[in-house]
Amino acid sequence: MKKILASHLSAGPTLVAWLGATVLVERLWAFCLPAVLLLVLLAVVCCVRSGSGTGPPPGPPAEGKAVFITGCDTGFGNAAAKHLDSLGLDVFATVLDLTGDGARALRRSCSSRLTLLQVDITQPQQVQQALLDTKAKLGLRGLWGLVNNAGVCVNLGDAELSLMSNFRGCMEVNFFGTVSVTKSFLPLLRQAKGRIVNISSPAGDQPFPCLAAYGASKAALNLFTETLRHELVPWGVKVSTILPSSYKTGKPRPQTSTWPHLQGAASKAAPPAAPSSNNAYWEQQHQQLLQSLPPALMEEYGEDYIAETKDLFQSFAEHANPDLSPVVNAIVHALLSPQPQLRYFAGPGIGLMYFIHSYCPLSISNRFLQKLFVKKTLMPRALRKQSGLEKNNTKNNNKII
């Protein structure tokens, strides 16, 4: 290269540039190829691991251990209570309705060890009463496990269209309610050096469209869980987070708290999972949203845009996975394994989703979310009008020219 530059040839700089680019590409390829192969291998491992599920671990014996589970009317909580009871644990299961279908099913299928408690986790008095009832049954024993499963998912539309009551309601149940239960039962958990298992959602880590209220509450829960995990290390209490994919978690039940519009504080933890595939539920939510929107917003977005969002959520709920066993197995593993995982990707595709979110460029991650969830075809009405005006202006300008 020095000789070429010294020769004062006109082609010298161009040749040097080409040679330099060639060497650079060669070095980058040699450096990046192993990294690319490693990333591909990690992606495959994540997919296999998230899809394989976690079976019952060869951990400490289950007999004699007590577990407190919230949100057992339907879904993950109901299924986990039945399974843990079958393994010999003393299960304290909270429901919103002691006379409901979920409570009756638990009484029929579980042993006499099961204790049903009516608890709305947004009501501190009910949480404290549940604590007293649990202490009375435990005696001198501590509490081995707390499964914070109760939650709500109210998701009908863009953040601007979501009611403030939806944001407050999701935070009150998914975050503040869980914090209240956890703080109340921590002395019993510390006594037993037990486990805390929080059912969260990938929506708390990734920006799923139309899930702003739900995702924000789960993001708060995720940070609380991670902080708690560090703080409880000296006490010997292990803390795990379960991140489910989309599951059918049952028909929602009326919420008895001060947010009566919310549906069922049973398990609704899957990120894009809708609370129900019930047509009446979605129509009710849709009509409530239409009635509450200011006329200006309705004009900007359009009723057809809002209706499409409702249809997409309902379709997503109808195609959700009815097999809850990956989540139930993850709960069992987190409670009984000698070394529980910090995070469980419960369901196919969750590991791959987190891999793409963590290691791929943001543009690829965003496109993946858009292709995966709420594939809208309509733009808001105001944008459609603007687009039409721009086309007309372009035609007129062309005619003038």
Residues designated catalytic: 214
Residue with tokens 């403030």: 164
Alpha-carbon distance of 135 to 90, in angstroms, equals 13
Query: Nearest Cα to 264, choosing from 150, 130, 101?
Result: 150
Alpha-carbon distance of 138 to 130, in angstroms, equals 12
Alpha-carbon distance of 244 to 346, in angstroms, equals 5
Number of CB atoms found within 10 A of residue 100's CB: 17
Q: Which long-range contacts (CB under 8 A, 24 or more apart) does 226-230 make?
A: 228/182, 228/196, 229/342
What's CA 369's distance to the chain center, in Å?
14
Is the Cβ–Cβ distance between 82 and 109 less than 8 Å? Answer: yes
Is the Cβ–Cβ distance between 264 and 252 less than 8 Å? Answer: yes
Q: How many helices (H) and strands (E) does the chain have?
A: 15, 7
